[in-house]
Amino acid sequence: MATVSLKNVDKSFGNVHVIKGASVDIADQEFVALVGPSGCGKSTLLRTIAGLEEVTGGEIEIGGRVVNNVSPSDRQVAMVFQSYALYPHMTVRENMSFGLEVTGHPKAEIAPKVDRAAGILRLEELMDRKPKQLSGGQRQRVAIGRAIVRDPGVFLFDEPLSNLDAELRVQMRVELALLHQELSATMIYVTHDQIEAMTLADKIVVLHGGVIEQVGAPMELYDRPANDFVAGFIGSPKMNMFAADVAAQAGWLSNEASSAVKFGVRPEHMVRAGHGLAGQVFHVEHLGGQTLTHLKLASGHEFVLSEPGAGGDAAGDTVHLRPAEGCLHAFDANGLAVR
């Protein structure tokens, strides 16, 4: 059972406090996406789970066992790095075998493991090539293959697809989803990519400045963000934010008193209305199946409307909008969601 539990994990580098009291429980075979802005501590948190960094405080449990003092090779985890980190002078087969050879596994045991991983990742035809004779996607598959042969309970991925072009990313995304089903392993996956996080993850962990802001299923974070940070971070294009007086003047609010100081509406949840918030179009982006209309309030405050199809607005047009039923998010002075 490869569960992973972080209990109040702290990590400092000297006087730089990078991870601040992170607690999260990850179930066996769960696929968890770890997301957050650059520098928020995603790689650091992953490396503490791998044992490549020592924690400054708190506990890490893998499979119910505290591993704070367990060496990386004895943690039942395998990490796949963004840079692949393949040995250039070794063939694909040698790259995949090497880790098991140095840990003393007998050759007769290694070969079938490597062949199985090669089969899963469709690398059979490439086993005698060197990394420089492979495409980016093929190299990434070798890096994943090297993790698979170790038969870990937990896979740790640090932005494994970020060096690939858009088309290959989409293809590898699907392959990773299938791989997760096939291997029945726990996976913790760091990504910048919203779509990867939303589509692959059973659970998303949002990290911000070393603090876990929210943990939840993708649609839970999308529908019920706990605070304005998560609201703005999950979803693309970003949620539009409006001051309370703007929302009130637009007639969006009912009369009951509320502690809300600002309101959010996702671009795809703004609908056209006979009256309501008046925005002036200043730019239109046609994406083919979808149109993004960029608007400004009289105050200069900008927001975006996302609609299916090829919208017919032109710069200078005025559009009246309201939030779709049940799609207005309210936040208090501390940024916490008000429901």
Ligand X SMILES: Nc1ncnc2c1ncn2[C@@H]1O[C@H](COP(=O)(O)OP(=O)(O)OP(=O)(O)O)[C@@H](O)[C@H]1O
Footprint on this chain of ligand X (rule: CB under 6 A):
13, 16, 18, 36, 38-44
Distance in Å, CB of 206 to ligand X, minimum: 12
**Which three-class secondary structure string do you get for the chain?**
CCCEEEEEEEEEECCEEEEEEEEEEECCCCEEEEECCCCCCHHHHHHHHHCCCCCCEEEEEECCEECCCCCHHHCCEEEECCCCCCCCCCCHHHHHHHHHHHCCCCHHHHHHHHHHHHHHCCCHHHCCCCHHHCCHHHHHHHHHHHHHCCCCCEEEEECCCCCCCHHHHHHHHHHHHHHHHHHCCEEEEECCCHHHHHHHCCEEEEEECCEEEEEECHHHHHHCCCEHHHHHHCCCCCCEEEEHHHHHHCCCCCCCCCCCCEEEECHHHEEEEEEEEEEEEEEEEECCCEEEEEEECCCCCEEEEEEECCCCCCCCCEEEEEECCCCCEEECCCCEEEC
Distance in Å, CB of 164 to Mg ion, minimum: 16
Which of Mg ion, ligand X, none is residue 198 near (CB under 5 to 8 Å by kind)? none
CB-nearer residue toward ligand X: 42 or 294: 42
CB-nearer residue toward ligand X: 33 or 40: 40
Q: Report d(CA 271, CA 81) in Å as an integer.
A: 43
Q: Report d(CA 243, CA 57) in Å as an integer.
A: 40
Q: Which residues bind Mg ion (CB under 5 A)?
A: 43
Distance in Å, CB of 77 to Mg ion, minimum: 17
Which of Mg ion, ligand X, none is residue 39 near (CB under 5 to 8 Å by kind)? ligand X
CB-nearer residue toward Mg ion: 11 or 322: 11
Q: Report d(CA 313, CA 293) in Å as an integer.
A: 8
Which of Mg ion, ligand X, none is residue 191 near (CB under 5 to 8 Å by kind)? none
Distance in Å, CB of 159 to ligand X, minimum: 7
Distance in Å, CB of 42 to Mg ion, minimum: 5
CB-nearer residue toward Mg ion: 52 or 120: 52
Which of Mg ion, ligand X, none is residue 41 near (CB under 5 to 8 Å by kind)? ligand X
Which of Mg ion, ligand X, none is residue 79 near (CB under 5 to 8 Å by kind)? none
Q: Which residue is nearest to Mg ion (CB)?
A: 43
CB-nearer residue toward ligand X: 13 or 282: 13
Which of ligand X, Mg ion, none is residue 13 near (CB under 5 to 8 Å by kind)? ligand X
Which of ligand X, Mg ion, none is residue 38 near (CB under 5 to 8 Å by kind)? ligand X
Distance in Å, CB of 43 to Mg ion, minimum: 3
CB-nearer residue toward ligand X: 42 or 180: 42
Judge whether 23 and 114 are in contact, CB under 8 Å: no
Distance in Å, CB of 78 to Mg ion, minimum: 18
CB-nearer residue toward ligand X: 37 or 137: 37
